[in-house]
Structure 1
Amino acid sequence: MTITADKATKGRDLRLDLFRGLANWAIFLDHIPNNAVAWLTTRNYGFSDAADIFVFISGYTAAFVYSRRMARQGVLAGAALLLRRVWQLYVAHILLFVFYAVAIGFIAQRGHSHLLDEFNVKWLIEQPVATLTQGLALKFKPLNLDVLPLYIVLMAGFPPLLAVMMRHPDSALAASAGVYLASRWFGLNLPAWPSGEWYFNPFAWQFLFTIGAWVAMGGGERVKSLVMSKLMVSISLIYLIFAMVVTLAVRFASTWMLPSGLVDLFDPNDKTNLAPYRVLHLLALMIVLVRIVPEDWDVLRSDALRPLIVCGQRSLEVFCVGIFLSFVGHFILEMYSNALIAQIAVSVIGISVMTAVAFYRTWSRALDAPAPAGKASAGNRATQGGIG
């Protein structure tokens, strides 16, 4: 995926939508505890997971879209458009926050009060005004509502970084790396409420976001011959296999696979501060995926992959629905049946609903587009339609 501003006229890279759609499905599955279907997701076989893919592609897409707007309309106009997107993300988060909390509170009042603690919404009952205030400030987050606040903060700080990256991409990446290293060395993070810090440390995760943006701004094209070489692909494959063995050893508490001292270096997996081995794993995964899935692969335009592609294009809506459905799925499995057939049914129905929402949003937005130029404008909006 090495799209630059000059390459934009050649059309969308559907691999972005494919991988983002997969990430949406994986996040939904991973957020349902004790769900056997979640063993299909990448978090069980490596150091990084769907959240890493999400943030990387979001940075890539944001740079791809808004750098062209800045080049065409000026830095100020591009920054205004970026901040407009931040506002849309913020509104989506608040709506999700309200629906999520109300649903949990409604069920908790009907004999399932333990859900208030389990999903971290008891503060809405005990201190409603303070909790809502801190929720609006993004300091209070119920369980599983951490990704959107992270992305809101990353996008809010992106305009000046993008302006620099358009002229000095390597310097912008170096500055981002400096912030990342400082966050890990000095323990920089944002405070959460009522205690603790953000689960996704934005000072660390901005580095992965920036790497995605750097790739989109021509960095990927400059290093393409190196990263796509047989040697680099081989190294990436070896690292992915090593990460899978370590992760499985941790999952099954197996000491025969690797020395315990080696496994301890990766357990627990530092997701909050984005451990370097997570970054390397995500980059290795991207190198291998890009190598085996070419941009002009006909299957990307097939009916079989259409649901994933559309879920990637309507990512914000699909993400919000998936988070809400993960709570519904968790409740169903915990309160009624946790049998394997129930886990499969909940997973399949949830993904089907997410896909239906994606197709509906694509269809409804197409109604607003005038013909024949509407097709082109709809395509441009699709680029911005995802969470990235």
Structure 2
Amino acid sequence: MSGFWRLMLFGKGPRDAASPSRDLRIDVIRGLILLIIFVNHMPGNIVSSAMPHNFGFSDAADIFVLLAGISAAFAYGRLIDQRGLLVGSLKVGARIWTLYIAHLALFVLVCGIIATAIVRTQNSLYMEAINVQPFFSDTPTAIVNALGLTYQPYYLDILPLYIVLLALFPLIYVAARTSPLPTLLLSLVVWQGAAHLGLNLPNHPGEAGWFFNPFAWQVIFVLGVVLGRLALVGARLPKLPALDLLAIAVVVFAAAVKLSSSNLLAGVPLLGEWIDGLQIGIDKTNLAAARVMHLLALVWLVLRYLSPEAALLRSRIGRGLAVIGRHSLEVFCAGIVLAIAGQIILAETSFVLWVQLLVNLTGITILAGLGMFLSWYKTLTARAAGATREQPAAA
């Protein structure tokens, strides 16, 4: 049995996990994903037609959750290894509190933006576009449900998912550290069990559950945690040319289905109905299997062929995206606010092409500027703290 598969089955590895340098691929890809999410959150936007979800089954949300699992393993998994489960769990709890406060602040801000738009334009349809009408029709109940994460307006459903998944992280990490492959298998069972049994968390008002069903989406987060754990112990993926070809085939097939305007693939016997479903769209709430297969193919190809030292990552564009990716929470929240404001602007200007391009360019510029400002501010405060610590020693 090779060392890789022994590690996957029995969790064997260095007793003290390594402290690998920051993987630039994570920051760059996450920065790109944050910009894509901003663009995609403006329906009718011409720029969104060039976004990745039009060329494959998975989209930015899948990659965002995967990177959340990898980053959690790097940030908190190493802490659990070094200082124990209790200390690591307390650190995770502090982060969950930050996410919760950010979500509530974002909720209030979005409701304020919609209220302002309605007053200025006299168009109440904006409430329905973001699903905030419950807040204005029954404010006390909406606030109570929002505090319990059981009322989530559109575009405000990713942070609640991340909160739930991060709350499970200590347990997931310990399981992944003990035996990664069985952990993944158990996660797959939960995912499929939830899909068949209709398990989900409530989302009021109405009978629908969370748009991102945590029982399903946990499988991507768990995959990220396992990948992060493997990186911590210095594991290397085995070279499997056959799997490379399979991953390429999945990516090409997905693109062919999404781009097929003549619907030629739909004429293949026994595949027609399935192809039609893939072209129209696949279940995002319960994480359709096609999404997971496509994501796995992309992950495999990135790990195999995009080196952490690649020149592309260190180019000017790569460095700019990395700066955005290092401040994901702040940039994500700002992106949601800008996207909702952008929706209103586009609707009020009848989706004129030059306005669409200007809104996209302005939003991306603001998000990039926010990332650069936060990096500068973090460096400034770190230097100030260092100077403060040196003063008593000098005295």
Residue type of the alignment partner of 1:359? M
Paired with 2:351 and 2:309, the residues of 1 have a C-alpha distance of 42
Note the alpha carbon deviations across 1:239-279, whole angstroms, 9 max, x for none. 11111121234xx5x43343232313534311100111111
Paired with 1:80 and 1:294, the residues of 2 have a C-alpha distance of 34
2:340 counterpart SS class? helix
- Is 2:313 the counterpart of 1:300? yes
Asked if 1 retains the 8 angstrom alpha-carbon contact of 2:203 and 2:210, the reply is: yes
Paired with 2:386 and 2:224, the residues of 1 have a C-alpha distance of 30
1:299 counterpart SS class? coil
Note the alpha carbon deviations across 1:106-129, whole angstroms, 9 max, x for none. 111221211011211111111000
Task: Please say which of residues 154-163 and 127-136 is displaced more in the overlay.
Answer: 154-163
- Is 2:167 the counterpart of 1:159? no
Deviation of the 1:7 alpha carbon: 7.1
Residue 340 to residue 257, structure 1, CA distance change in 2 (3 Å)? farther
Deviation of the 1:184 alpha carbon: 1.2
Paired with 1:107 and 1:265, the residues of 2 have a C-alpha distance of 36
TM-score using structure 1 length: 0.89
2:178 counterpart SS class? coil
Look up the match of 1:377.
none
Residue type of the alignment partner of 1:19? I
Structure showing greater Rg: 2
Look up the match of 1:255.
263
Q: 2:130 aligns with which of 92, 114, 119?
A: 119
Task: Please say which of residues 289-298 and 274-283 is displaced more in the overlay.
Answer: 289-298
Paired with 1:276 and 1:235, the residues of 2 have a C-alpha distance of 16
Asked if 1 retains the 8 angstrom alpha-carbon contact of 2:349 and 2:355, the reply is: no
TM-score using structure 2 length: 0.88
Note the alpha carbon deviations across 1:297-356, whole angstroms, 9 max, x for none. 133223232221111111111100111111111111110241222211111110110111
Q: 2:340 aligns with which of 318, 324, 327?
A: 327
Deviation of the 1:281 alpha carbon: 0.3
Residue type of the alignment partner of 1:356? G
Paired with 2:97 and 2:223, the residues of 1 have a C-alpha distance of 24
Look up the match of 1:203.
215
Unaligned 5+ runs, structure 2: 5-12, 388-395
Residue type of the alignment partner of 1:40? A
Asked if 1 retains the 8 angstrom alpha-carbon contact of 2:172 and 2:225, the reply is: no
Look up the match of 1:357.
370
Asked if 1 retains the 8 angstrom alpha-carbon contact of 2:266 and 2:276, the reply is: no
Residue 19 to residue 8, structure 1, CA distance change in 2 (3 Å)? farther
- Is 2:304 the counterpart of 1:291? yes
Shift >6 Å, 4+ stretches: 4-7, 371-374
Deviation of the 1:370 alpha carbon: 4.0
Asked if 2 retains the 8 angstrom alpha-carbon contact of 1:52 and 1:282, the reply is: yes
Residue 37 to residue 265, structure 1, CA distance change in 2 (3 Å)? closer
Look up the match of 1:241.
252
Number of aligned residues: 367
| 1:116-195 to 2 correspondences below 5 Å | 116-195=127-206
